[in-house]
A and B are shown apart, each in its own frame.
Chain A
Amino acid sequence: MRRVISILVENEAGALSRISNMFSARGYNIESLTVAPTEDASLSRMTIVTSGSEDVIEQITKQLNKLVEVVKVVDLSEAEHIERELMLIKVRAGAKEREDMKRMTDIFRGRVIDVSDNTYTIELTGDGRKLDAFIQALDPGAIIETVRSGASGIGRGNRILRV
């Protein structure tokens, strides 16, 4: 089962490797991992997308909590939450394809953020499925390069993760 886990961790050197080490040492899967400091510079917030049975997810949460630098852990997928991922995608956009590509970008509410004679670089935000759908909608031959940030997540409404 796919799970989105949010972690507040001390913003210290090595904290990220402690967490990623724990996943690899215990054979847990990481689909994506994002991390950046929060408004409180002493804390980083991490979103890890993982998958596993109930038991595995329970162990992952416990093992994360056991790490000395981890302040809080929440399994966002236990309740309503929002996920967003950023994708930058460079596509072929010569004179023939330009219009089509622009229209497709608009349909998916993306933005063209860089242009050259024969390429567009498009920025697209959404949950993972939307980004997948955009890639599916394009002619595979048109895609030159993609980069995705991995998902960031936050609880809906009054669900809050803070110290």
Chain B
Amino acid sequence: MDRIKGVELSGAEIVVRCLQEEGVEYVFGYPGGAVLYIYDALFKQDKVRHVLVRHEQGAVHAADGYSRSSHKVGVCLVTSGPGVTNAVTGIATAYMDSIPLVVISGQVPTHAIGQDAFQECDTVGITRPCVKHNFLVKDIKDLAATIKKAFYLAQSGRPGPVLVDVPKDVTAMLTEYQYPETVSMRSYNPVRRGHAGQIKKAARLIAQAKRPMVYAGGGVILSNAAPRLTELVQLLGFPCTNTLMGLGGYPGTDRQFLGMLGMHGTYEANMAMQHCDVLLAIGARFDDRVIGDPAHFAQNPRKIIHIDVDPSSISKRVKVDVPIVGNIPDVLDDLLALLRPGAGERDAAALDAWWQQIETWRGRNCLKYDRASKIIKPQFVIEKLYEVTGGDAFVTSDVGQHQMWAAQFYKFDKPRRWINSGGLGTMGFGLPAAMGVQLANRGATVACVTGESSIQMCLQELSTCKQYRLPIKIVNLNNRYMGMVRQWQQFFHGNRYSESYMDALPDFVKLAEGYGHRGVLIDKPADVEPALREAFACKDELVFLDVMTDQAENVYPMVPGGKGITEMILSEEL
């Protein structure tokens, strides 16, 4: 890339030049008054491509999906005021799942800040609780260095979204442009290597374990540690579970994989979590949807080793014995170096007995459902989706029952294939995220598993899909209910389905056609597989599959909120 130094550029040109320097391919955004100069600068170049969404929430989710599926920083550009407030849901979604984004927002001119100007809002104040960091650039001389810092902060340490608010007058001023080569901040120095003594302690505990368990989360995916995790688990012969965010971190089809754990985790994964004697937690944070009630979890004694890049994730909900702060791949390298030589010295008899116990739990077949049903079972659709795509699709999802079924029934063998809003639980995430995934992986198979309620929250992006020819396959598990809300109402609110029924639904087939896509209605189990085959054979078109599923189906197993992880409701118990 040509690097012109000492040339005078406008603030808007600087913004675009900085994005070029960072190798940004796509900016997801929506223009408006405060960012007109930046859009003008974008117009005059062709290195950074702009993707015009239909709502700023879609821009952030798309950048987020782009990042999750590619390990690059996602970039968005939004205008001041409502542009920013619309983006907040997307930013908070990325923050909860530690996704590296740089959000550039326009702001009213510096002299108008604080005057309640048209389309003014306190962007830095509004976004402060849901970003890793944010900046307001009041002096054009700070602009390039601030954007450099934003990219550095977003992807280093525990990643996260960083927002740069740029007032309109700053984008119009001129200054000498120079992009800094490096960033150094005395207040920010993320740890890479883990403490050698702690890693030794961990290796000793692992070697002595009789009932070991490996519990790995989204940190493994984010730090690209999946190959090392797989090597470690296979070297040790230990059972492994992944969190919702960690799926694909360990191959989902491997025998040592016990499935997802947590509120809708498998019986075997939750039982093994509770009854293990040594727990190796990697890039996971023991959150409420994973271990439920911490007091119940603490009833069984076990030694916990916790590897995480963020010290504040350690001993937050669960006290751990061996904390290791560091970049997961580096820590796992050090741990592997210690464990490889003694790989044969473990207590094989104890491990055998433990596996026998696990196989008994696995024998409960906790994910079974009625395969003979005359009504389409949502689990069946996901199983067929898995078969038809050869297990090799990128799958995005929204939030609710369909999300849990996709997580349970699609076996992810590779990292960065399962894209969902785990932390914030944002309905409306799936479709715009799929756009980002498809742009990052042109030619790849991208499926958006959604429900009739979630899809309506960012439905307008069907138009963006048309404009950029994104051949996403939307699998709409349509049960005419906000399914997860209905399930909780059935279990905990005496079957009073308060406002969870989706009435006056659109004809999704016509709707898809209205946007210029193909729509297909599926209402018989026998039609599911042929329709999926036909849709996925269609490489250049978005297909909206509206699948009429069983209205009364529930997600099992289920740990009721606030209960212990072994206090599961299983399907046969009802």
Stretch at the interface among B62-70, B180-188, B533-541: B180-188
Question: Bound state CA distance, A63 and B311, in angstroms?
Answer: 9
Known: A71-B186, A163-B186. A66 touches B312 (CB 8 A): yes
For residue B370, give the distance in angstroms from its CB to the closest CB of chain A: 44
**Which single member of A25, A59, A68 contacts B188 (CB below 8 Å)?**
A68
B315 within 8 A of A: yes
Q: Chain B contact residues (Cβ within 8 angstroms of A): what range?
A: 10 to 19
Known: A55-B315, A58-B315, A66-B312. A10 touches B128 (CB 8 A): no
CB <8 Å contact, B312 and A62: yes
B124 within 8 A of A: yes
Question: Bound state CA distance, A123 and B519, in angstroms?
Answer: 78
Contact string against A for B residues 163-198, beta-carbon threshold 8 Å, 1 for contact and 0 otherwise: 000000000000000000000011110000000000
Question: Bound state CA distance, A9 and B185, in angstroms?
Answer: 12
Q: Chain A contact residues (Cβ within 8 angstroms of B): what range?
A: 20 to 34
Known: A14-B124, A59-B316, A71-B187. A66 touches B310 (CB 8 A): yes
CB <8 Å contact, B312 and A10: no
Closest to A10 in B: B187
The residues of A that contact B561 with a CB separation of less than 8 Å are none
B437 within 8 A of A: no
Contact string against A for B residues 466-494, beta-carbon threshold 8 Å, 1 for contact and 0 otherwise: 00000000000000000000000000000
The residues of A that contact B188 with a CB separation of less than 8 Å are 68
For residue B532, give the distance in angstroms from its CB to the closest CB of chain A: 44
Closest to B325 in A: A62
Question: Bound state CA distance, A65 and B187, in angstroms?
Answer: 9
CB <8 Å contact, B128 and A14: yes
The residues of B that contact A130 with a CB separation of less than 8 Å are none
The residues of A that contact B129 with a CB separation of less than 8 Å are 21, 25
For residue B531, give the distance in angstroms from its CB to the closest CB of chain A: 46
Interfacial residues of chain A within 88-102, with CB under 8 A of chain B in the complex: none
Question: Bound state CA distance, A13 and B113, in angstroms?
Answer: 14
A124 within 8 A of B: no
Question: Bound state CA distance, A21 and B124, in angstroms?
Answer: 12
A127 within 8 A of B: no
**Which single member of B125, B136, B185, B312 contacts A59 (CB below 8 Å)?**
B312
For residue A52, give the distance in angstroms from its CB to the closest CB of chain B: 14
The residues of B that contact A163 with a CB separation of less than 8 Å are 186
A17 within 8 A of B: yes
The residues of B that contact A14 with a CB separation of less than 8 Å are 124, 128, 136
For residue B149, give the distance in angstroms from its CB to the closest CB of chain A: 9
Could you write out 9 A-B pairs with CB less than 8 Å apart? A10-B187, A14-B128, A55-B315, A55-B319, A59-B312, A62-B312, A66-B311, A68-B132, A69-B133
Closest 3 CB pairs of A and B: A62-B312, A68-B133, A71-B187
Which chain B residues have a beta carbon within 8 Å of chain A's beta carbons? 124-125, 128-129, 132-133, 136, 153, 185-188, 310-312, 314-316, 319
Extra contacts besides A62-B314, A63-B312, A68-B185 (8): CB < 8 Å: A9-B187, A14-B128, A62-B311, A66-B310, A68-B133, A68-B153, A68-B187, A70-B187
